């Protein structure tokens, strides 16, 4: 071994660097959770790239701490109580530490010997969540990297179950399609196109005034698709939708799928965790009847990205998706052995996702997940009440989850002027660094959107957000 390699693998150096990094991150957490630092220091993309290009051109470093500190400073701080933008959890510090463990052990997981403990923990944690969702005694599943990949995996399983031929072996020329809400996450559209079903393979069902699928339109949509020569094989229900956090009527979708022999997939990537809360469990009523469910741990369950559960009411269905020979991996490619996880997922080499979930459950119990849902969903309802109590502000819809869409309106402004004003509010909030929110377009109208992901956010922070929005409106009016 060369001296360079020996130094790079030094356990002593790792010990010193690790202690220094943990101290740096602990200090960062204290400041972020207190809200004393900005959420982000905004740089435009060209400046950001130029900064790191200049750094990259420098000689190798001997002290890592300045580099790590610079990365922290130039990143968005999701633990800050003013972080209300995307659906990204402020991960539990304990869950983040498991990432260090997983990184050092580097278990591949596709075959049992490369992930003995991790495969067992994956089996336990997915079966635990399947039970909490009420999927039944035969339920099980797997972990994969994100809701988009999870949705594609579940829909491939649905196609394998419904297609008239063995798709994996002989392909298909059938014109297949799925039914989804017009508010469904874009991953449904992406999955359909990856599967080769084309534009006509995604049939969008209109939503009601609460942005929920109009389930009474499923029947005519199915009839119209069949008349056009399409074979509908699945329906996706949102629990909840991404833009507004609205929950579809999962029970009605389950009834429809059962009546017509269709696969029912529930997209619980964000809101499936409501099943863990006694208060909000009714929002996902009917999810227990789904054939497959996707839930992201890295959203409402406080783990680092990406950790997604793909759950099946019948665990055996998980083996329908991928059936291929790999003699260097498995002696029997068709055996339904849960401990060789590569048989059921896109990933062959897959990181030890299950360790974060298992460690949190063993340390804090499942109550920590329920508490997070209760705190954040309750906070959204109180924020909605604040919005309604402010002259000039309005909601897009009363929130069902922890996502709230609102805007400032003025009867004297055109829709385009209203959109311009709200977009300006959002941009100036981000540049100031006290609050981070995003925007969305609902039925042609621009709204400000908050996802309340951080239990350190309080009613007072939300009051301050609205105060700042009002100040920016006042500034805009004075400039006109």
Work out how many domains the chain is built from and give that number.
3
**pLDDT at residue 398 in the model:** 96
d(CA 356, CA 307): 9
Q: Please indicate, yes or no, if residue 450 is contained in any of the structural domains.
A: yes
**pLDDT at residue 330 in the model:** 43
In degrees rounded to 5, what are phi and psi of residue 121?
-65, -35
Cβ neighbours of residue 200 under 8 Å, at least 6 residues apart? Answer: 175, 177, 228, 230
What residues make up the domain containing 381? 370-479
Residues 51 and 200 in one domain: no
Alpha-carbon separation of residue 178 from 158, 207, 289 (angstroms):
10, 16, 18
d(CA 336, CA 22): 41
Residues 18 and 112 in one domain: no
Residues 53 and 121 in one domain: no
Q: Please indicate, yes or no, if residue 344 is contained in any of the structural domains.
A: yes
Domain boundary, last residue among 52, 75, 98:
75
Residues 149 and 227 in one domain: yes
Domain boundary, last residue among 342, 365, 388:
365
**pLDDT at residue 115 in the model:** 72
Q: How many CB atoms within 10 Å of residue 444?
A: 7
Q: Please indicate, yes or no, if residue 94 is contained in any of the structural domains.
A: no
**pLDDT at residue 147 in the model:** 87
CATH label of the domain that carries residue 374: 3.90.1150.170
DSSP states of 356-380 as a string?
A: HHHHHHHHH-THHHHHHHHHHHHHH
Residues 303 and 190 in one domain: yes
> Looking at beta carbons, which pairs linking 345-349 to residues 24 or more positions away fall under 8 Å?
345/142, 345/143, 345/144, 345/153, 346/144, 346/149, 346/152, 346/153, 346/322, 347/109, 347/110, 347/144, 347/145, 348/108, 348/110, 349/108, 349/109, 349/110
Residues 184 and 255 in one domain: yes
Written as six digits, the tokens of 367 are 């109550």
Q: Tell me the sheet residues that pair with 292.
A: 265, 312
Question: Which among 362, 367, 368 is positioned nearest to 121, based on CA atoms?
Answer: 362
Question: What strand order describes the sheet that includes 292-296?
Answer: 140-144, 308-312, 292-296, 263-267, 231-238, 176-181, 202-205
Q: Please indicate, yes or no, if residue 91 is contained in any of the structural domains.
A: no
Domain boundary, last residue among 344, 365, 386:
365
Residues 19 and 118 in one domain: no
Q: Please indicate, yes or no, if residue 118 is contained in any of the structural domains.
A: yes
Residues 258 and 400 in one domain: no
Residues 396 and 291 in one domain: no
**Phi-psi bin for 392: left (phi > 0), alpha (psi -120 to 50), beta?**
left
d(CA 146, CA 71): 24
**pLDDT at residue 391 in the model:** 94
Residues 295 and 427 in one domain: no
Query: At 384, is the secondary structure helix, strand, or coil?
Result: helix
Residue pair 159/291 in contact by the 8 Å Cβ criterion: no
Judging by beta carbons within 10 Å of its beta carbon (0-12, 13-18, 19+), is residue 77 exposed, middle or buried? buried
Strands 202-205 and 231-238: unpaired
Residue in the block written with tokens 């009613």: 459
**pLDDT at residue 326 in the model:** 42
Residues 328 and 344 in one domain: yes
**pLDDT at residue 204 in the model:** 96
- The distance from CA 448 to its chain's CA centroid, rounded to whole angstroms, is 20
281-284-288-289 Cα dihedral, nearest 10 degrees: 150
Q: Please indicate, yes or no, if residue 65 is contained in any of the structural domains.
A: yes
Element (H, E) at 231: strand 231-238
Residues 298 and 381 in one domain: no
Q: Please indicate, yes or no, if residue 334 is contained in any of the structural domains.
A: yes
Q: What is the pLDDT along the chain (480 residues), one digit of tens a residue?
A: 899 999 999 999 999 999 999 999 999 999 999 998 899 988 889 999 999 999 999 999 989 999 999 999 999 999 999 999 999 999 999 999 999 999 999 987 777 767 788 889 999 999 999 999 999 999 999 999 888 899 999 999 998 887 655 666 666 767 899 999 999 888 888 888 988 888 899 999 999 999 999 999 999 999 999 999 999 999 999 999 999 999 999 999 999 999 999 999 999 999 999 999 999 999 999 999 999 999 999 999 999 998 999 999 999 888 777 654 444 444 555 556 666 666 667 777 888 999 999 999 999 999 999 999 999 999 999 999 999 999 999 999 999 999 999 999 987 889 999 999 999 999 999 999 999 999 999 999 999 999 999 999 999 999 999 999 999 998 888 777
Q: Please indicate, yes or no, if residue 99 is contained in any of the structural domains.
A: no
In degrees rounded to 5, what are phi and psi of residue 140?
-175, -165
In degrees rounded to 5, what are phi and psi of residue 299?
-105, -85
Written as six digits, the tokens of 291 are 């054939």
Q: How many CB atoms within 10 Å of residue 401?
A: 27
CATH label of the domain that carries residue 315: 3.40.640.10
Query: At 250, is the secondary structure helix, strand, or coil?
Result: helix
d(CA 50, CA 13): 30
């Amino acid at each position: 071994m060369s001296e360079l390699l020996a130094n790079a693998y030094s356990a002593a150096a790792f010990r010193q660097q690790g202690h220094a990094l943990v101290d740096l991150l602990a200090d960062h957490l204290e400041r972020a959770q207190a809200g004393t630092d900005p959420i982000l220091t905004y740089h435009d993309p060209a400046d950001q790239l130029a900064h790191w290009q200049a750094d990259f051109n420098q000689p190798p470093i001997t002290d890592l701490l300045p580099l790590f500190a610079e990365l922290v400073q130039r990143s968005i701080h999701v633990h800050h109580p003013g972080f209300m933008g995307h659906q990204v959890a402020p991960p539990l510090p304990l869950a983040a530490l498991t990432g260090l463990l997983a990184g050092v052990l580097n278990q591949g997981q596709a075959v049992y010997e490369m992930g003995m403990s991790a495969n067992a923990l994956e089996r336990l944690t997915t079966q635990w969540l399947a039970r909490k969702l009420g999927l039944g005694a035969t339920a099980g599943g797997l972990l994969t990297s994100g809701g988009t990949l999870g949705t594609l995996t579940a829909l491939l399983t649905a196609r394998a179950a419904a297609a008239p031929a063995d798709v994996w072996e002989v392909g298909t020329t059938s014109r297949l399609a799925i039914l989804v809400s017009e508010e469904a996450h874009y991953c449904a559209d992406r999955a359909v196109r990856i599967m080769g079903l084309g534009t006509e393979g995604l049939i969008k069902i209109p939503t009601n005034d609460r942005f929920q699928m109009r389930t009474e339109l499923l029947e005519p949509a199915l009839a119209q698709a069949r008349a056009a020569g399409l074979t509908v094989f699945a329906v996706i229900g949102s629990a909840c939708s991404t833009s507004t956090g609205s929950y579809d009527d999962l029970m009605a979708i389950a009834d429809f799928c059962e009546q017509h022999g269709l696969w029912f997939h529930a997209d619980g990537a964000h809101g499936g965790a409501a099943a863990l809360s006694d208060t909000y469990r009714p929002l996902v009523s009917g999810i227990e009847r789904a054939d497959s469910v996707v839930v992201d741990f890295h959203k409402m369950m406080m783990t680092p990205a990406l950790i997604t559960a793909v759950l099946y009411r019948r665990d055996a269905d998980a083996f329908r998706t991928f059936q291929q020979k790999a003699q260097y991996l498995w002696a029997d490619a068709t055996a339904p052995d849960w401990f060789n996880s590569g048989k059921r997922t896109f990933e062959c080499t897959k990181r030890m996702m299950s360790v974060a979930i298992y460690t949190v459950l063993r340390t804090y119990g499942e109550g920590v997940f329920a508490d997070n849902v209760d705190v954040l969903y309750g906070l959204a309802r109180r924020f909605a009440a604040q919005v309604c109590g402010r002259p000039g502000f309005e909601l897009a819809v009363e929130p069902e989850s922890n996502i709230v869409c609102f805007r400032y309106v003025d009867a004297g402004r055109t829709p385009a002027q209203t959109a311009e004003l709200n977009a300006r509010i959002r941009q100036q909030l981000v540049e100031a660094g006290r609050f981070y929110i995003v925007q969305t377009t609902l039925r042609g109208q621009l709204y400000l959107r908050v996802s309340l992901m951080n239990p350190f956010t309080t009613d007072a922070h939300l009051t301050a957000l609205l105060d700042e929005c009002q100040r920016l409106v006042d500034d805009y009016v004075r400039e006109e």
